[in-house]
Amino acid sequence: MDKIIATKNLDNLITKVEAARLRVSEHHIVKIIGISKYASSEDIKTLYEVGQRAFGENKVQDLKEKSQTLENLPIEWHFVGTLQKNKINNLIDLNPTLVHSLDSLPLALELNKKLVERDKKLSCLLQINSSYENTKSGVDPKEAIDIYKKILELCSNITLKGVMTIGANSEDEELIKKSFTITKEIFNTLIPFGARYCSMGMSGDFELAIACGSNLIRVGSTLFKN
């Protein structure tokens, strides 16, 4: 991907994000994470050079390889994939800015145990399965607030920063909207408990997610298309 295409992709995305956030409020800020799981380190570097600063990877190994290749750039790395327990130590070593996919209390307890052993802390989002789909990870929305508070209470080395969801896998906009609205209501309840990020919306539905209150979007194909 050359700089002209990267600039155009980023400009187009920012224009859409700006329009969507201003429809919510001029004070509503939206952070963009470039999901780089199918992108090369070279493409990430090109997008960084035209202004995109935060990138997210789905696999611990890919995060390791790309962050090491690009270690001379002060990139803000995020981990957005399913975290397997046998990869926890590797992820802690990489020290990502934010882990978006803390999807159960047992995973939180295991992660915290490993963090305590290494005297490290890690910022995370609680993943919520707000569309009630079997194919998706995440906690049940009805239990999300209790689980969030339990993690705060039991996991001293995890810094919870908010919640994340993936919109319903549907052509029906109302269903997608419902999954976002459920998550935003949970987020609102958790603001007094330190929740800052309501991470919702990907390339296909980020404008709807922002309209429903998302302040952090995860966009891949829109940024990296040639």
> 12-62, pLDDT tens digit by residue?
999 999 999 999 999 999 999 999 999 999 999 999 999 999 999 999 999
Q: CA angle at residue 177 from 175 to 178, to 5 degrees?
A: 65
For residue 13, how many other CB atoms are within 10 A of its CB? 19
Is residue 215 within 8 Å of residue 204, measured between CB atoms? no
From the list 64, 61, 54, the residue with the least C-alpha distance to 217 is 54
CATH number at residue 22: 3.20.20.10
Can you read off the two tokens belonging to residue 169? 């896998």
- For the chain, the domain total comes to 1
**Distance in angstroms (rounded) separating the CA atoms of residues 21 and 28:** 6
Is residue 85 within 8 Å of residue 110, measured between CB atoms? yes
**pLDDT band with cut points at 50, 70 and 90 for residue 65:** very high
Could you give the C-alpha distances from 48 to 42, 149, 182, in angstroms and in order? 10, 36, 33
Q: Using DSSP, state whether 107 is helix, strand or coil.
A: helix
**pTM (2 d.p.):** 0.95
Amino acid identity, position 97: T
In terms of residue numbers, what domain contains 35? 3-224
Encode pLDDT of 70-105 as tens digits.
999 999 999 999 999 999 999 999 999 999 999 999
DSSP character at residue 51: T
Q: Compute φ and ψ for 53, nearest 5 degrees.
A: -110, -25
Percent of the chain residues topping a pLDDT of 90: 94
Q: Using DSSP, state whether 192 is helix, strand or coil.
A: helix
| pLDDT on residue 226 | 85
Q: CA angle at residue 191 from 188 to 193, to 5 degrees?
A: 135
> How do beta strands 122-127 and 98-102 pair?
parallel
